[in-house]
Structure 1
Amino acid sequence: MLVSKWFVIQILASLLRIVDINAADDPETRILGGYDVETYKYPWFVALKRMDIVHCGGTLISDNFVVTAAHCFNKFLKAVESGFMKVEDIFTPVLGAYNICQHEDTQREFKIKAIHIHEKYQKEKHFNDIALVELNEPATNFEKCDLPNKAISEDERPKEVFVAGFGDLEWTTIARSMLNKQQADGKALQNAFCAGYLSGSADTCRGDSGGPLFVVDSSGGSTLIGIISFGFQCGTPNTLGVYTDVSMFLDWLTSKIALSESKNKVE
């Protein structure tokens, strides 16, 4: 995908910033304005790096597991299956990063132990675009992002949600309105939803795939609602980003984590 205006502007910035859709009436002002987010605001955010470049984002949901998009691994799985590449060499998961271009005391790198791609993932249609990354050791000192406790109906979907990602350079968050649409460009979505600004004033883009779309409660706690999946050119007016609906995969996530943990106990 191309780089959106938001992320091009963010390349010039030095700090992670957050934008609130209620902060100003003009959407362009909201993107240019906003306010700085303190370092380590979202410690559960995971940067999936390869050769010092962030290729995808992810969300830490338990000590050993990160939720991300299945399509992040499209280019690598055949090489792993054929023995040309090891699983741990695909990406380096990084937690506690704020400026990915600098080494910070809060950062910690992990290795990948296993990758669990949804069995019904369809690459061409982006159906069931979800994966679990199992870390080689527990991230016990990092806060986790909550999962929704049940499937979310159309009427229950929140009006304001946030997306986060490093994009091309630095981690940014955008507040956005979640729209009750179940189709994108005439293509029916399976276990996914659309969200964004129809004006095209804010969007996720290259390097953000797999990252979180989340809500923040009154106490500051975060709940993962969606996974950045795909779009139709970044920031294009009258188009929306598409997000995997996490609430539709709660049973899958629970079963995969339980199965893996039981195997680890046997080993």
Structure 2
Amino acid sequence: MKVNVPIISDGECQDNYSKKNKKISNHMICAGYSAGGKDSCQADSGGPLACLGPNNQYFLAGVVSWGWGCANPSFPGVYTEVSHYLTWIESVMRDHHTKDINISSVHD
């Protein structure tokens, strides 16, 4: 299933989650609607937060991490921000890469 949710500023997200004694770090992205209604949920953990880039190609911005329930007003979904882990991801992929994959063939 796919749902479109807006990215929420770190400050707004922290303001909301501070009411629940939760901290939003600079390695997290928040996305959702202030009115709630659409969000990722528990079974979505590890799933992608994909964003459309300026070249009209999607990129992986985040990974579903946690939230306060599902689609609750004022409590957007919290995602791990992939850009903070690129060096680690690249090193793991390089060290464990076993076969070449032609990305274009995956989308054909």
TM-score bucket of the superposed structures, by smaller chain? 0.7 to 0.9
Give the counterpart of 1:194 among 30, 37, 41.
Answer: 30
> Displaced runs of 4+ in structure 1, greater than 6 A?
none
Give the corresponding residue for 1:175.
Answer: 4
Give the corresponding residue for 1:185.
Answer: 17
Give the counterpart of 2:39 among 203, 211, 223.
Answer: 203
Question: Do structure 1's residue 246 and structure 2's residue 78 form an aligned pair?
Answer: no
Change (3 A) 1:181 1:218: closer
Change (3 A) 1:218 1:197: same
Question: Do structure 1's residue 228 and structure 2's residue 60 form an aligned pair?
Answer: no
RMSD: 2.1
Using the size of structure 1 for normalisation, the TM-score is: 0.32
- Structure 2 distance, partners of 1:217, 1:256, is 25
- Structure 2 distance, partners of 1:248, 1:219, is 22
| Deviation of 1:255 (Å) | 1.0
SS of the residue 2:91 aligns to: helix
More strand per residue: 1
- Match for 2:65: what amino acid? S
Taking the TM superposition and a 5 Å limit, the aligned residue runs for 1:3-152 are: none
Deviations for 1:23-70, whole angstroms, at most 9, x for unmatched residues? xxxxxxxxxxxxxxxxxxxxxxxxxxxxxxxxxxxxxxxxxxxxxxxx
| Deviation of 1:220 (Å) | 4.7
Deviations for 1:104-155, whole angstroms, at most 9, x for unmatched residues? xxxxxxxxxxxxxxxxxxxxxxxxxxxxxxxxxxxxxxxxxxxxxxxxxxxx
- Structure 1 distance, partners of 2:78, 2:4, is 15
Aligned residues between the structures: 92
Q: Is the 8 A contact 2:52 2:59 kept in 1?
A: yes
SS of the residue 1:232 aligns to: coil
Structure 1: runs of 5 or more not aligned: 1-171
- Structure 2 distance, partners of 1:179, 1:210, is 19
Using the size of structure 2 for normalisation, the TM-score is: 0.73
Q: Max radius of gyration: which structure?
A: 1
Deviations for 1:153-196, whole angstroms, at most 9, x for unmatched residues? xxxxxxxxxxxxxxxxxxx2111110112526222233112111
SS of the residue 1:201 aligns to: coil
- Structure 1 distance, partners of 2:60, 2:54, is 15
| Deviation of 1:217 (Å) | 4.0
Report the identity percentage: 34
Structure 2: runs of 5 or more not aligned: 100-108
